[in-house]
């Protein structure tokens, strides 16, 4: 049986060899039992009826050598929720908790990449994310964009805070990456579903000042592909290079459509 250190180092080696600065890291935990009202809300935001996942998003910032060791640790910049070992935007190394299953829940770490980015853009994405270090986390959750998904009204930003997925969207927006609207799953009575965009946004792209897109919208974007998937369940470690998106959901038959870039 491999030691915990050997398992950790195997994961670190895989991430460091595959990931590039500016890639997006998702920690996806599945196995939740959402009540009916939450399933309806999640459907409006574009998640599958059978989706049982919660997401966390981070920007890969590179690797650093451990002190007195030949091992390189992979690092991320992310905005952590309350209840974590920290709250707010920080840069830290990827710990085993981000890819290790617990109890009845399955946790998968996946890294996605936009191949069109050059080295300068990647560096600027990381710089933008690092510039946000110390910014408090936006704790509003569903309340943040409720009025957008229900009535098509713009998100009201909370000054001086940021959510984990908004950090990723803004960092990519800072290098000129635009994101198409995702209004097709909003309820029939939401005007944005019929106009194609919420209030405060142009027709052809999301205004990131009023960003309403979620983690799964970033993941589904057809311009991005998965370069690495890591999951550890008890003594089994799975490291898969270049899997299909949602490969971890094939067992339950659920699927998600790709989001095409307009």
> How confident is the model over 70-75, as a mean pLDDT?
91
Tokens of 94: 């990827």
Count other Cβ atoms within 10 Å, centred on residue 250. Answer: 11
pLDDT at residue 88 tops 50: yes
pLDDT at residue 217 tops 60: yes
Residue 36's pLDDT is 92
Residue 5's pLDDT is 86
pLDDT at residue 151 tops 50: yes
What band does 255 get if pLDDT is binned at 50, 70 and 90?
A: very low
What band does 247 get if pLDDT is binned at 50, 70 and 90?
A: very high
Residue 1's pLDDT is 61
Residue 69's pLDDT is 78
pLDDT at residue 262 tops 80: no
Sequence-separated (6 or more) residues with CB below 8 Å from residue 120? none
CA–CA dist 45, 37 (Å, integer): 13
* CB-CB contact of 81 with 87 (8 Å): yes
Residue 133's pLDDT is 96
Strand ranges inside the chain, DSSP E = 24-30, 53-65, 72-80, 88-93, 106-114, 224-233, 236-241
> How confident is the model over 29-41, as a mean pLDDT?
93
pLDDT at residue 16 tops 90: yes
Q: Where are the alpha helices (DSSP H) in the chain?
A: 4-18, 36-44, 119-131, 142-151, 164-173, 191-195, 215-220
What band does 82 get if pLDDT is binned at 50, 70 and 90?
A: low
Could you tell me which of 109, 75, 79, 110 has the C-alpha nearest to residue 94? 75
Rounded to 5 degrees, φ, ψ at 117 are -70, 140
For the chain, domain boundaries: 4-246
Tokens of 235: 């003594």
pLDDT at residue 169 tops 80: yes
Identify the burial level of 191 via C-beta atoms within 10 angstroms of its C-beta, where 0-12 means exposed, 13-18 middle and 19 or more buried: middle
Q: What is the mean pLDDT of the chain?
A: 91
């Amino acid at each position: 049986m491999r030691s915990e250190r050997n398992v950790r180092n195997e994961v670190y080696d895989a991430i460091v060899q595959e990931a590039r600065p500016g890639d997006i890291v998702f920690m996806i935990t599945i196995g939740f039992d959402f009540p009916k009202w939450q399933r309806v809300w999640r459907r409006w935001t574009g998640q599958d009826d059978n989706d049982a996942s919660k997401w966390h998003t981070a920007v890969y910032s590179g690797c650093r050598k451990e002190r007195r060791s030949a091992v390189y640790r992979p690092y991320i910049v992310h905005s952590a929720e309350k209840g974590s070992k920290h709250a707010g935007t920080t840069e830290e190394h990827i710990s085993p908790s981000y890819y290790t299953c617990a109890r009845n829940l399955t946790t998968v770490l996946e890294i996605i990449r936009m191949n069109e980015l050059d080295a300068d853009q990647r560096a600027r994405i990381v710089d933008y994310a690092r510039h946000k270090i110390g910014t408090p986390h936006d704790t509003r959750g569903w309340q943040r964009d409720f009025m957008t998904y229900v009535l098509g009204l713009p998100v009201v930003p909370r000054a001086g805070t940021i959510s984990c997925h908004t950090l990723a969207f803004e960092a990519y927006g800072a290098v000129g990456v635009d994101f198409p609207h995702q209004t097709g799953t909003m309820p029939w009575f939401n005007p944005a579903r019929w106009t194609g965009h919420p209030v405060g946004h142009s027709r052809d792209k999301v205004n990131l000042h009023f960003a309403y897109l979620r983690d799964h919208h970033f993941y589904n974007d057809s311009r991005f592909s998965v370069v690495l998937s890591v999951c550890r369940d008890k003594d089994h470690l799975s490291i898969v290079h270049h899997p299909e998106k949602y490969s971890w959901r094939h067992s339950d038959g659920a699927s998600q459509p790709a989001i095409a870039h307009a």
